[in-house]
Structure 1
Amino acid sequence: MLGMEGRPNYDEYPYPVVFLPPYENPPAWIPPQERVYNPDYNNELTNFLPRTILLKKPPGAQLGFNIRGGKASQLGIFISKVIPDSDAHKAGLQEGDQVLTVNNVDFQDIEHSKAVEILKTAREIFMQVRYFPYNYQRQKERTVH
């Protein structure tokens, strides 16, 4: 089954053959004990599971985070900024989190303005979020707000 140059000959091979590009850019080496905190090495998939966040917002208080995205981007609503030491920060909200629901309202296909209105008027915010940095990056490339 080997061809002329010592490489396999796939002509009679019964399945489709996919040639992958060579692996040219491995992440930089870092000590194993630091890898769990490094996004290039971290394979701790629990980071990407949905989480529940509960925030109480007194009248006139700030949310402690900003959102971007919405129906126009087709990717959803994402947390774009979390103010350090805010209640949102302490509750575990982070940049790159996708907001799945707020107070049982589906946020995966909602207008930006409607999302802002719900977040601003609620006194208590019960959110389902999941960390989704890949779509967050795509989101940033597609939209202005």
Structure 2
Amino acid sequence: MESGSRIAYDDYPVVFLPPYESPPAWIPPHERIYHPDYNNELTQFLPRTIVLKKPPGAQLGFNIRGGKASQLGIFISKVIPDSDAHRAGLQEGDQVLAVNDVDFQDIEHSKAVEILKTAREIIMRVRYFPYNYHRQRERTVH
């Protein structure tokens, strides 16, 4: 085989690998049980229901980002400490699945805001989904 028929090294396509993350430090088994890095309980990622009562003119106590344009859904981007939302267990990185029986998984951002602002009582189905939340933050500005 002629050496001239091989592809020059510089002509190969560039492949970007994900950033390397160091594995968590080794922790003795008896300490792993309650250690957050080793918490394998999937319960924190299961859907849960949050109920908020909102007097007229009151603030929600949380911000959302995302929507149909990002194709990843609506996420809680901020929860104000000591607000009703915070006390009810809402957290940054929660995906909002539904509000008052309205599906939030493929909703416009503006429509989601309108529903949340006008409702006096908010019954939310959420699930903690940090992976897609971080993807969401990389893609969108609001």
Number of equivalenced pairs:
122
CA contact (8 A) 1:36 1:43 kept: no
Segments of 4+ in structure 1 off by > 4 A? none
1:35 deviates by: 5.9
Mapped partners of 2:86, 2:21: distance in 1: 37
1:25 deviates by: 2.9
Question: What is the percentage of aligned positions where both structures have the same residue?
Answer: 86
Cα deviation 1:20-44 (Å, max 9, x = unaligned) = xxx9832123465366452x32211
1:132 deviates by: 0.3
**Residue 71, structure 1, aligned to residue 79, structure 2:** no
User: Alignment partner of 2:115: what SS?
Assistant: helix
Counterpart of 1:33 (choices 31, 34, 58) is 31
Q: 1:110 maps to which residue?
A: 107
Mapped partners of 2:93, 2:104: distance in 1: 15
Q: 1:97 maps to which residue?
A: 94
Q: Which amino acid aligns with 2:118?
A: T
CA contact (8 A) 1:97 1:129 kept: yes
Cα deviation 1:48-91 (Å, max 9, x = unaligned) = 00000000000010000000000000000000000011000000
Mapped partners of 1:24, 1:135: distance in 2: 18
Distance 1:66 1:24, change over 3 A: closer
Mapped partners of 1:121, 1:84: distance in 2: 22
Unaligned runs of 5+ in 2: 1-19
Q: 2:52 maps to which residue?
A: 55
CA contact (8 A) 2:64 2:76 kept: yes
